[in-house]
Structure formats: structure tokens, C-alpha cells
Amino acid sequence: MSENPNNWPLWEVFIQSKRGLDHKHVGSLHAADAQMAIENARDVYTRRQEGNSIWVVPASAISASNHDDGGMLFDPADDKTYRHPTFYQMPEGAKYI
Amino acid sequence: MDQHQALLTYCLRRGDDNLILSHRLGEWCGHGPQLEEDIALTNRALDLIGQARNYLQYAAEVEGKGRTEDDLAFLRSERQFVNTMLVEQLNGDYAHTICRSFLYDAWHLPLQQALTKSADERIAAIAGKAVKEVSYHLRTSSEWMIRFGDGTEESHVRAQTALDALWTFTGDLFVQDDVDAILVKAGVVPDMAPIRSAFDKTVETVLAEATLERPVDGHMATGGRQGKHSEHLGYLLAEMQYLQRAHPGAQW
């Protein structure tokens, strides 16, 4: 993963703040393996009670869209407001939709 | 010595162990081998400071002479500190720092677990909170021992060197005197024999996985509990206490 043997590989960290919620990307860190990445994530990203579950993913395992393709990929959605569920009433008490 | 005096001394011993090790770990702040490890190590230092405060606050109350936790931490001299000699040893390289923590944690966890059953409710409560923190400390220090021992040739040599150098201070962890005898009888603190067994078992398991050799029990350096320390503690206190000594009562 890393060209430099003195550098640990990079991991992307996802934290679930509360049971039932999704894991959100919070940042990245270096670690020698997955176990160390979880423990480092615990120390770097959950010091202030931010979470109750941690996922780590090798940064090299993530495929990203190309920023330059942004116009082609995302702009066509701009004028298709009918895709937004804005014509529905939100059920009362539904917080996470 | 009565039970009151014994309880005071015992709280100072527990407080001093954590305070001095915390200071040593804090010396790494900003100098850790990796940013992540720097944060992780100083997090553990903060855990230990919290535990030290709990015990020193209790010590101050038990003493009842108007001294505070800060007075106990910053205005006692070397011979009045009753920490175990292991924790005052120099940081050395990172293997040395980790090995010192590992030996301490392997003793500290079973001790705190046993203290949760203390007849003294305050000590039981302090231990109850500490157990979770110390469980994590032992896990990380064990993992690092295994990484170093079973890692590269160089890391293996460094870990074994650290272990050999620090082993002589493990005897001091298990020394028991009048203070312990009085409190064991009162059900306030546990006997050391089961703590020793737990320590031996942890050390055996982790060293086996780390492919490290347990040093032979030779001469053990003891005396920390009576205020007899290695030359390193004086320098540590000079730095730790400088501000309160130079500017008494300073606050920020």
C-alpha cells in the first residue's frame, strides 16, 4: 500500500455515533494493520464520546470518482427537482430519513 | 501503625504509581514515533493522571490535615514518594517505554480488579472506574510487546533488552509490608498471591506470542514503597514540581 517501508499505510475511519445510525467518515490515519487502525481510531477520533462503533478501511481500497467529471456526473440532476421527495408529508417523529 | 495510617499510605502508593508513570508517558508528548501513537500514549497518561487524582484526593481526605491533592503531588520530596520503582525508570527507546507499561499493566489490572471488591467503598469505586481504562492499557501494551518481539530482528532485540533491563524492578510490585497486612486483614486490599499468579500468566502468554524470553528472577531492586528510589526519581520530580516550587500557589 505504501511505497515507503517506513510509513504505515493510510486507513479511512468511519464512526457510528449512535446505535441505528450509519457510520460516517471522520478522517484518516496511519496504522500497520487493521487492529492497530481501530485502536488508533479509538484514540484519535473517539476521545470525546463521539462513537460506539468503528470501521476502518484501507485508503487504497477506496475507488473515487474523478473530480473533473463532476459536471458530467452531477450537474444533470440540478433541474430534476421531481426526484426529491418534497411532495410528501414527513411522518411525525421520524428523525432519520 | 493503625488502620487509618495504613489507608493513607496505601492511597499514596496507588496515587504515586499512577502519577509518576503518567509523567513519564507525558514526556513523550510531541515526540511519539507516529502522530497516532503519540496521541494514544498521552491518552493513557491522562487516564493515569485521573486515577492518581482519585487516590491522592482520597489520601488528602484521609489525612485530614488540610493538604490537597496538589500539595501531595507537587510539594512532597523524593523520599516521601512511595511509588514502585518500575514507574520512575527512564523512557529509553519506545520498546523500553512499552515494556515498562506492559509490566505495570500486567500487575495493575488484576490489582484493580481485586480492589473493586474492597471493603472500603471509596477504593472500590475508584477501582471500578479504573478497571476499564487499565484493561485497554494492558491490551495495547501487550499488542506492542508482540509486535516488537515478533517483528523485525532489531525490534526483537530492543524488546528483549528492555525486558531484561526492567525485570529487576518487577519484584518491587509485589512487596508487602505492615500497611498491606493491616488492610488485607480488614478486607480493604487483596493479598498479593493471586495478583502475582495473574501477572505471571499474562507475562507468560504475551512473551510466548512475542517470542521473547522471560528473564530469570535474579536480584530484585526494592524499596520504592519505603521511599527509597533509583536516581531517576529526583530528576523527574525536579521537572514535575518546578512550577509549584518556583511560584507557590500558581494557578492558570
**pLDDT per residue as tens digits for the range B27-58:** 999 999 889 999 999 999 999 999 999 999 99
Rounded Cα gap, residues A66 and A73, in angstroms? 9
On whether the CB atoms of residues A71 and A47 are closer than 8 A, the answer is no
The pLDDT tens digits for B92-106 are 999 999 999 999 999
Average pLDDT over residues B83-94: 97
**CA-to-CA dists, residue A69 to A72, B83, B114, angstroms:** 5, 63, 62
What class has domain B3-246? mainly alpha
- Work out the pLDDT band at A80, boundaries 50, 70, 90: confident
- Please, what are the domains in chain A? 10-81 (3.10.20.520)
**CA-to-CA dists, residue A84 to A40, A80, A87, B14, B16, angstroms:** 39, 8, 8, 61, 62
Whether residue A39 and residue B37 make contact (CB cut-off 8 A), yes or no, is no
- Work out the pLDDT band at A5, boundaries 50, 70, 90: low
Check if B161 contacts A (Cβ < 8 Å).
Answer: no
| Higher per-residue pLDDT: A85 or B89 | B89
Q: Nearest CA to CA, how far is A96 from chain B (Å)?
A: 32
User: How confident is the model at residue A1, as a pLDDT?
Assistant: 40
User: How confident is the model at residue A97, as a pLDDT?
Assistant: 61
Cα distance from N-terminal residue to C-terminal residue, chain B? 39
Check if B175 contacts A (Cβ < 8 Å).
Answer: no
List, as one string, the DSSP characters of chain A.
--SSTTSPPEEEEEEE-STTSPPEEEEEEE-SSHHHHHHHHHHHH-TTS--SEEEEEEGGG-----GGGHHHHHGGGTT-GGGS-TTSPPPTT----
Candidates B25, B28, B34: best to mutate against A (most CBs of A within 10 A) is B34
| Alpha-carbon A33 to chain mean position | 19
Whether residue A32 and residue B147 make contact (CB cut-off 8 A), yes or no, is yes
Q: Of B34, B43, B147, which is closest to A30 when you measure between CB atoms?
A: B34
Cell of B56: 491522592
| Higher per-residue pLDDT: B252 or B181 | B181
3-state secondary structure B97-151: HHHHHHHHHHHHHHHHHHHCCCCCHHHHHHHHHHHHHHHHHHHHHHHHHHHHHCC
Identify all chain B residues contacting A39, using CB atoms and an 8 Å cutoff: 40, 140, 143
Mean of the per-residue pLDDT values of chain A? 86
Look at residues B60, B55, B221 and name the one whose alpha carbon lies nearest to residue B129: B55
Candidates A11, A38, A39, A48: best to mutate against B (most CBs of B within 10 A) is A39
The pLDDT tens digits for B224-244 are 999 999 999 999 999 999 999
Check if B71 contacts A (Cβ < 8 Å).
Answer: no
Q: Nearest CA to CA, how far is B207 from chain A (Å)?
A: 19
CB pairs under 8 A between A and B: 25
Q: How much is the ipTM here?
A: 0.73
